[in-house]
Structure 1
């Protein structure tokens, strides 16, 4: 089975939500695998330390990338599982109303807002004056997505296990209130970051209703970086550009559709005789695209 090929294809052709989930899982697996090698070598690993947001501003200035990297970092499997499930559930609700670009901006800026709340709190409130903390996890970003969609569509009902159906506004309010009450009992830094994400989710929708997309600039910047990065690794001398001509009339359109259907029928026959694994990469891609139509 070409598992790696399937993963690359679904990442490339999947939604922004799919890619965010893949990145979170991928970062977790890479760090755990690297940790195994460090363990076998008898050496401690400091990768998580260097990717988490430090509460001390001097350390933050030496590691300025951490407000971005921390939101894809998780301490253990359950930490990853709950955040990925929340990202999937609330991300699906978000995409019911908005396109993927907005989901990406809310995730990233919600995470940044969570890191900002955390850093400010640990350097302002006396309770943290003698505490050195590290912040990691996607929960602030997930809170931003949850609150954003709850503010936009507050009365949408979702089904909660055992409890039953509840309006989304009450679900969001419960998690925000729980984070406030948990600051003094467990994981204060994480719960403060949740509030930062929640604040950004509310602010984003509040401004969007005024016609201002405060996340659009960030997404445009990411697009430019992606284009620039793609240009570096492309070899123009080996590039072949082809243009697909649109059908000139109904007869030509129907002819093209019949050709495509014949190809799909042949692929389905091949699956029936030899199984899905017998397909070539091109045949799998063609079948995947046809399934999305």
Structure 2
């Protein structure tokens, strides 16, 4: 295995860079159309489960994801071939979006049901979501919980992270003894130890309030899960692959 830029990864990186740079040069905002919105939001479109994978919120965001795609995806594409790798990448990315939506739906519905229980009507709740404020003595929830409710509805998800996490997990399955040299850790660490560690971190941060920054932890977990299932199946049945 060498680090030569493979075909699918080269094209994926090019598309990601174009989608990141072009709107800035043209001074256009495509987030309402392409980012993944909550299904009940007026801007939601089913195509966003694919298009959100090509949008990024910052230079650091796209740099980290494209580096991960190149570093961990290259040996996988060399092993699987272009078609299988593209199928895997999009499956992990779409799966990440679906599991992220399910997690958000659970959180959103929980708060929504509480508001209904307080005596608010669906119209009352939609009005709160539309204007972003409320003045109703019946609402016995903390301001933090209401901000979370508003954010779940309005904040879209962007980034290739879910797909890249799928790639990362597959890399760990096929190259578990590969040593990873990390900037923030002075000693190279084997993939079989590092990858479960960061997944447990995402699970912890996704289920608690300790997350640093606006990170879609359940998208990471979703991409990792779908990636694991596909890679496990292919590895188990690799004698049948052509």
Q: Same fold (TM over 0.5)?
A: yes
Report if the CA contact (8 A) 1:158-1:168 is conserved.
yes
- Determine the structure 2 residue equivalent to 1:21: 13
Instruction: Using the TM superposition, give the Cα deviation of residue 145 of structure 1 relative to its aligned residue in structure 2, in angstroms.
Output: 0.3
1:197 to 201, 204, 223: 223
Q: Measure the CA separation in 2 of the matches of 1:190 and 1:65.
A: 19
- CA offsets 1:128-180 (integer angstroms, 9 cap, x no match): 65432311100001000000121223222233345232211122112212211
Q: Measure the CA separation in 2 of the matches of 1:23 and 1:137.
A: 13
Instruction: Using the TM superposition, give the Cα deviation of residue 70 of structure 1 relative to its aligned residue in structure 2, in angstroms.
Output: 0.2
Q: Does 1:168 align with 2:191?
A: yes
Q: Does 1:177 align with 2:160?
A: no
How do residues 1-293 of structure 1 correspond to structure 2 at under 5 angstroms? 15-35=7-27, 45=29, 47-57=30-40, 59=42, 63-125=45-107, 126=110, 129-130=149-150, 131-132=152-153, 133-161=155-183, 163-183=186-206, 184-186=209-211, 190-211=216-237
Q: Measure the CA separation in 2 of the matches of 1:58 and 1:76.
A: 24
- Between the two structures, name the one with larger relative contact order (CA 8 Å, sep ≥ 6): 2
Report if the CA contact (8 A) 1:111-1:197 is conserved.
yes
Instruction: Using the TM superposition, give the Cα deviation of residue 99 of structure 1 relative to its aligned residue in structure 2, in angstroms.
Output: 1.6
Alignment partner of 2:176: what SS? Answer: coil
Instruction: Using the TM superposition, give the Cα deviation of residue 19 of structure 1 relative to its aligned residue in structure 2, in angstroms.
Output: 0.8
- Determine the structure 2 residue equivalent to 1:260: none
Q: Measure the CA separation in 2 of the matches of 1:53 and 1:185.
A: 23
Q: Which has the larger radius of gyration?
A: 1
In the superposition, the TM-score normalised over structure 2's length comes to 0.71
Consecutive unaligned residues of structure 1, counting only runs of 5 or more, are 1-12, 39-44, 217-293
Aligned residue pair count? 192
Q: Measure the CA separation in 1 of the matches of 2:85 and 2:198.
A: 20
Q: Measure the CA separation in 1 of the matches of 2:229 and 2:50.
A: 20
In the superposition, the TM-score normalised over structure 1's length comes to 0.59
Greater helix share, structure number: 1
Report if the CA contact (8 A) 1:71-1:137 is conserved.
yes
Gap change, CA 1:14 and 1:212, over 3 Å in 2: closer
Report if the CA contact (8 A) 2:176-2:192 is conserved.
yes
Once superposed, what is the RMSD of the aligned Cα atoms?
2.5
- Determine the structure 1 residue equivalent to 2:144: none
Consecutive unaligned residues of structure 2, counting only runs of 5 or more, are 112-147
Q: Measure the CA separation in 1 of the matches of 2:182 and 2:215.
A: 27
Instruction: Using the TM superposition, give the Cα deviation of residue 96 of structure 1 relative to its aligned residue in structure 2, in angstroms.
Output: 4.5
Gap change, CA 1:189 and 1:119, over 3 Å in 2: farther
Instruction: Using the TM superposition, give the Cα deviation of residue 209 of structure 1 relative to its aligned residue in structure 2, in angstroms.
Output: 2.8
